[in-house]
Chain A
Amino acid sequence: MQAGEKVGKGICEIEVTVRNAAGLHMRPAMQFVDIANQYQSSVSVNNGQTTADGKSIMQMSMLAATCGMKLKIKAQGPDAEAMTEKLRELVEVKKFGEPTPEESKGQVP
């Protein structure tokens, strides 16, 4: 990982909840790693069972996080804080641009 050089030595850990109805399927997983890869810091995501590299779509999609699931995001590196903030926004505010269960009312995105 290119963020190996720990300049700021900053660690930032947050917990987010998956809000969109369809969960962390392929497209959301891609959006997640696309953002993560814009930062130097390394990032891991834990679903309570497994830890995934937040920059790998393979590992992120394999978390198979469904709606309502809590994820621990742990970033480490010079821009750890900015990165976790962006990721939180993606998961909880933008909700990957997808509807919540109430909004979708049974519609599949």
Chain B
Amino acid sequence: MEIRKGVAVSPGISIGKCLVIDAEDYRIPRRAIQPTQRLTETQRVRNAFKDAIEELEKLQAGQKELKVRDIFAVHLSFLKDRSLRKKITDMVHDESVTAEYAVSKTLRDIASHFATQKDGYIRERAADIYDIERRVLKYLVGEVEQEIRDLTEEVVIVARELSPTQTAGFNKEYVKGLASGAGGRTSHTAIVARSLGIPAVVALEDITESVTGGDTVIIDGNRGIVIVNPDDATIQQYLEYAVEFAEMEHRLDLIKEKPAETRDGVKVSLYGNIEFPDEAELVLKRGGEGIGLYRSEFLFLNRDTEPTEQEHYEAYARTVSFFKSKPVTIRTVDLGADKYTQARRYIREPNPFLGLRSIRYCLQNLTMFKAQLHAILRASVLGQVKVMFPLITNLQELMQAKMILGDVMEDLDDEGIKYNRNMEVGIMIETPAAALTASMLARDASFFSIGTNDLTQYTLAVDRGNELVSTLYSSVDPAVLRLIRTVIQDAYKARVDVTICGEMASEPEQVMLLLGLGIRKLSIASPMIPEIKQIVRSVTIEECNKVARKVLSMNSERQISSFLRDSARKILPEAF
């Protein structure tokens, strides 16, 4: 039995057999296999090499650049090297280790052999070997991903870090919990777990080295604990705890029908964030009043071609019809950075978070962008649809996006297709640039939605997924709060709606602060709706205003966090 402490990011308890996903760009831990598996594993090695060769031959054939062709030829030569393959399969066989480990270990040994050479030119060839390693591992990891799509029994997933592509392929019926080595409260793993309503613990560091596929694992998403191979007494204890937790969840469900209103009668609107159309139901079930953030990237995952206009339309139509007169805010595709586009580039962007992502990507890929807008407009007659552009950094971008929307409207006019001409068009405020120019942007936007995750990372220059600096990431940093306040004030002055749709809105102790800053609309992961409603119903705006005033006078993040925790405990003792 091994107990590991991480960060709890999605509540609940789950106990199950685990499935481990290694990452091709992270050190593969040594994992033993049964002697009976040796044949399967060596076959996996051969298949992965075969697939990698096929892929590379295709790439090479399509490559006109002579130098790149040469590089591919060298890589192919390695992949076809029988003595290399034999070295790997021998290792699987002699040491009884997984295919992933043998591939990685063998190639990394070769790479470090190059890296220690005196000659600089030869030393740099280590990079080629790493590239070959990643290419082969991709196929081995890909097999495990396929396994997750085809699950037939319940599992919990243990991974280094889950990518959007991997989670989009989950068979949701059978994935009962997530544990990841990397990540924080706002990592993709956390977001997905909350939207699916399954427990998750992240920041478990080298957790993937402590487990082997098939081990029993307990994921305690309330306390941030993962237990590998628990003893019987521990399992028993956790089974009882799981029942207690379910009862508490049920109590929260009871407040579903009650309004989200403060004790002094101020109405607050709670919306759900969703990624997939089938999550819409959960939003209503938990008492959400509509969708504040409909992420549309899911349509692009797990496929080689762009989705068609009809596919966009069907997904939106399904969700919008489901909500009838309740608002559904569709965010136009937010691809780039960690999502999708990098995998399709031969040369990755050196700094993707500052690169071609979100609205910038859309404005450079007009055919795709127009297809999406066309579909959104078509769906706009089915209910109350709003459209929202992500990552706006200046007025020109907003004007350009709106102009394109205007063009698409004309197309629809020509085609004689009905749409809502007065559909609200808003923007996400997630860069300091947008926050500081909110008063200008407000003239051309009907609403703002503050994306606190990106706003925090861009303001503080911190990658939230990088464990080395993630402690610097905090949405209640004075710098971030000042920007948020500016946006809210400018929105009030210009009379445009303002919603918070980042993770911040679902942090119980930060909700009072947000209300005190003037926020009346929150969009959060649906499982969090009852809890946040409970908080809204327990406070008065007067108390919240006091909290906000006090916080804005503080000058350190640490002071603010501990003050918020204390005030939340005082006002909402039962929730903490």
Contacts from A to B (Cβ < 8 Å)? 22-23, 25-27, 29-30, 33-34, 53, 55-59, 61-62, 64, 66, 108
Contacts of B118 in A (CB 8 A): 66
Q: A23-B119, A27-B74 are in contact. Are A58 and B125 (CB under 8 A)?
A: no
A-contact bits for B88-130, CB 8 A (1 contact / 0 none): 0000000000000000000000100110011101100100100
12 sample A-B contacts, Cβ–Cβ < 8 Å, listed by A number: A23-B121, A26-B125, A53-B83, A56-B81, A56-B82, A57-B74, A57-B77, A57-B81, A57-B84, A64-B113, A66-B122, A108-B121
| Contact assessment for B74 and A26 in the assembled complex, using a CB-CB cutoff below 8 Å | yes
Query: Which 7 residue pairs spanning A and B have beta carbons closest together?
Result: A56-B83, A58-B84, A26-B74, A57-B77, A30-B77, A64-B117, A66-B119
Query: Is B70 close to A, CB under 8 A?
Result: yes
Query: Which residues of B sit under 8 angstroms from A58, Cβ to Cβ?
Result: 78, 81, 83-84, 87, 110
Write the residues of chain B forming the contact surface with A, with a CB cutoff of 8 angstroms.
70, 73-74, 77-78, 81-84, 87, 110, 113-114, 117-119, 121-122, 125, 128
**Other than the known A29-B74, A30-B77, A58-B84, what 17 A-B pairs have Cβ atoms closer than 8 Å?**
A22-B121, A23-B119, A23-B121, A23-B122, A26-B74, A27-B74, A33-B81, A34-B77, A56-B84, A57-B77, A57-B84, A58-B78, A58-B81, A58-B87, A62-B113, A66-B122, A108-B121
Provide the bound-state CA to CA distance between A9 and B345, in Å: 52
In the assembled complex, the CB of B89 is this many whole angstroms from the nearest CB of chain A, namely: 14
Asked if residues B84 and A61 are in contact (CB atoms below 8 Å), the reply is: no
Complex-state Cα separation, A53 to B83, whole angstroms: 9
Residues of A within 8 Å of B122, CB to CB, are 23, 25, 64, 66
In the complex, A58 Cα to B78 Cα: how many Å?
6
CA distance A25 to B64 in the complex (A): 23
In angstroms, Cα B119 to Cα A53, docked, is: 22
**Which residue of chain A lies nearest to B80 when distances are taken between CB atoms in the complex?**
A57
B125 touching A25, Cβ below 8 Å? yes
Give Cα distance in the complex from A29 to B84, angstroms.
14
User: Could you say which residues of chain A place their CB within 8 Å of the CB of B110?
Assistant: 58, 62
> Which chain A positions have C-beta within 8 A of B117?
64
- Please state if A27 and B84 are interface contacts (CB–CB under 8 Å): no
Contact residues in B for A30 (Cβ distance below 8 Å): 73-74, 77
In angstroms, Cα B77 to Cα A34, docked, is 9
Minimum distance in angstroms from A100 CB to a CB of chain B = 15
Query: How far, in whole Å, are A64 and B119 apart by their CA atoms in the complex?
Result: 8
Bound CA span A56–B78, Å: 8
For B114, the chain A residues whose CB sits under 8 A away are: 61-62, 64
- Write the nearest CB–CB distance from B49 to chain A, whole angstroms: 13
A109's closest neighbor in chain B, by CB?
B121
Q: Which residues of chain B have C-beta atoms less than 8 A from A61's C-beta?
A: 114, 125
If the complex has contacts A58-B83, A58-B84, A62-B113, are A33 and B77 also in contact, measured as CB distance less than 8 A?
yes
**A29 — which chain B residues lie within 8 A by C-beta?**
74
For the complex, give the distance between the alpha carbons of A61 and B78 in Å: 10
Question: Which B residues are CB-close (under 8 A) to A23?
Answer: 119, 121-122
Chain A, residue nearest B113 (CB): A62
The distance from the CB of B504 to the nearest CB of chain A, in whole angstroms, is 50
A53 CB to nearest B CB, Å: 6
Q: Which of A33, A55, A64 has the most CB atoms of chain B within a 10 A radius of its CB?
A: A64
Nearest residue, chain A, Cβ from B75:
A26
Shortest C-beta distance, B108 to chain A (Å), equals 13
Q: What distance in Å separates the Cβ of A107 from its nearest Cβ neighbour in chain B?
A: 12
- Chain A residue numbers with a CB within 8 Å of B73 are 27, 30
Q: Interface centre among A23, A25, A108, by most B CB within 10 Å?
A: A25
Q: What residue in chain A is nearest B70 (Cβ atoms)? A: A27
**Nearest B residue to A1, CB-CB:** B82
CA distance A55 to B110 in the complex (A): 17
Chain A residues near B78 (CB, 8 Å)? 57-58
Considering the chains assembled together, what is the distance between the CA atoms of A82 and B525 in angstroms?
72
Docked pose: A9 CA to B70 CA in angstroms: 36
B74: chain A residues within 8 A (beta carbon): 26-27, 29-30, 57
Rounded to whole Å, the gap between the CB of A42 and the closest CB of chain B is: 12
Q: State in angstroms the CA–CA spacing of A28 and B132 once bound together.
A: 18
Question: Chain B residues with Cβ under 8 A from A27's Cβ?
Answer: 70, 73-74
Q: How far is the CB of A3 from chain B (nearest CB, A)?
A: 13
Whether A25 and B84, one on each chain, are in contact in the complex, defined by CB atoms closer than 8 angstroms, is no
Closest to A56 in B: B83
**Would B81 and A26 count as touching, CB distance under 8 A?**
no
What is the CA–CA distance of A33 and B84 in the complex, to the nearest angstrom?
13
Name the residue of chain B whose CB is nearest to the CB of A26. B74
**List of B residues within 8 angstroms of A66 by Cβ:** 118-119, 122
Residue of B nearest to A34 (CB): B77
Report A-chain residues with C-beta under 8 Å of the C-beta of B113. Answer: 62, 64
Contacts of A108 in B (CB 8 A): 121
CA distance A26 to B73 in the complex (A): 10
| CB neighbours of A25 from chain B (8 A) | 121-122, 125
Distance (whole angstroms) from the CB of A18 to the closest CB of chain B? 11
Q: How far is the CA of A25 from the CA of B125 in the complex (A)?
A: 8
Bound-state Cα–Cα, A59 to B109, Å: 12
Q: Closest B-chain residue to A52, C-beta based?
A: B83
A22 to B128, alpha carbons, bound, how many Å? 16
